[in-house]
Amino acid sequence: MLNYSETPLFEFRTEETQSRGLRILIKREDLNHPFISGNKWWKLKYNLEETVRQGQKTILTFGGAYSNHIYATAAAATELGFKSIGVIRGEKTLPLNATLSFAKDSGMHLHYVSREAYRNKNEPEFIQQLQKLFGDFYLIPEGGTNELAVKGCVEFGEKLRKIEYDYLCLPVGTGGTIAGIISGLKGEKEVIGFSSLKGGSFLERDVSKLVADFSGMNFSNWRIEDRYHFGGYAKMTEELKIFMQNIERNHTLTLDPVYTAKMFYGVLDLVAKNYFQRGSTILVLHTGGLQGRSGFNLDSL
């Protein structure tokens, strides 16, 4: 199916981490594939296998105008010879942004619906309307999160068990990635998910359900940190922009403002607040999504 490149660990050092006796390792999962990068590779893996198993020729999925999932699904469909349809939240705006231009150039048919109609994306009547319009298709939910996505991320979590660390930090959107990793770790380590959404406390409930539905277990070694959303999903402040600029200049590490920059800011803030036990190792997941930078004014970075 999809090609996968093994990804390196990068050690991140600052005077503050060293003075506190902490070691930060960054798992550069953004390097696992040129276009289907980071956690998207793992979330799509078994969904694509299921598409083949069902004999489907078309994949339909949902997302916003800057969706990493739309971008990755379009690339995956092209690589494997599927047709793809992206149901896009909001009205069509020209010229297309870089994300939607890439999806369209990859062969994805873009179908725009109003924000009001988009709220019904999980309703059977709405899906039936799409089937009447486009015929038969394999449906992948918004953000790619379903049981098969969790299955892929469980496999990723099992790989992460082989690394020596005490804390695992990662960004969270719909919750599928962290749910799979929690299940794959089987109660080991402390897992902190950094919500990219304002008011993301509801993710505790959603992730708990995803974990229980997949594994039948309830693990207590994780939590959602919702104080570092910087205004909400796809929002960016000047403070966050300056932070990204400093990280890139001083550490040659590129982050995206939607997920990884907020997570990394949160990790370093928790370091400053002495959250992590002295002498511990923190594993930070770079989950990709760098294409999302194109939707922001980052010329100065």
CATH number for the domain harbouring residue 25: 3.40.50.1100
Say whether both 286 and 221 belong to one domain: yes
Q: Establish if 1 belongs to a structural domain.
A: no
Total count of domains within the chain = 2
- Cα–Cα distance between 179 and 215 in angstroms, integer? 10
pLDDT of residue 234: 82
263-277 average pLDDT score:
97
Report the Cα–Cα distance between both ends of the chain, in Å, rounded: 36
**161 and 235, same domain (yes or no):** yes
Higher pLDDT, 50 or 295: 50
Mean pLDDT of 64-85: 95
How many residues are listed for the chain in this entry? 301
For 258, which DSSP code?
Answer: T
Tell me, yes or no, whether 264 and 156 share the same domain: yes
pLDDT at 299: 55
Give the percent of the chain with pLDDT over 90.
91
Torsion of CA 92, 97, 99, 104, to 10 degrees: 60
Distance CA 78, CA 72 (A): 10
Condensed to tens digits (0 to 9), the pLDDT of residues 94-122 reads 999 999 999 999 999 999 999 999 999 99
Residues 150 and 140 in one domain: no
Confidence (pLDDT) at 127: 97
- Decide if 4 is inside a domain: no
2 domain-assigned: no
112, 144, 176 - which closes a domain? 144
Residue at 135 is within a domain: yes
Judge whether 300 lies within some domain: no
The whole domain housing 22 covers 9-35+146-295
Distance CA 215, CA 259 (A): 26
Helices (H), 135-282: 147-160, 176-185, 203-215, 238-251, 260-272
Q: What is the pLDDT of residue 294?
A: 75
- Residue 233 lies inside a defined structural domain of this protein: yes
- Displacement of CA 49 from its chain's centroid (Å): 20
* 9-12/23-27 β-pairing: antiparallel
Q: pTM of the full predicted structure?
A: 0.93
Nearest CA to 171 out of 148, 142, 200 is that of 200
Residues 175 and 286 reside in one and the same domain? yes
Same domain, 58 and 197: no
pLDDT, mean over the chain: 95
**182 and 242, same domain (yes or no):** yes
Q: Are residues 195 and 238 in the same domain?
A: yes
Assess whether 158 and 100 both reside in one domain: no
Q: Which of 105, 125, 144 is the last residue of a domain?
A: 144
- Domain's final residue, options 99, 125, 144: 144
Residue 119, strand partner residues = none
Mean pLDDT across 14-33: 96
Answer whether residue 79 is part of any domain.
Answer: yes
| pLDDT (0 to 100) of residue 200 | 84
Is the same domain home to 207 and 273? yes
Do 161 and 19 share a structural domain? yes
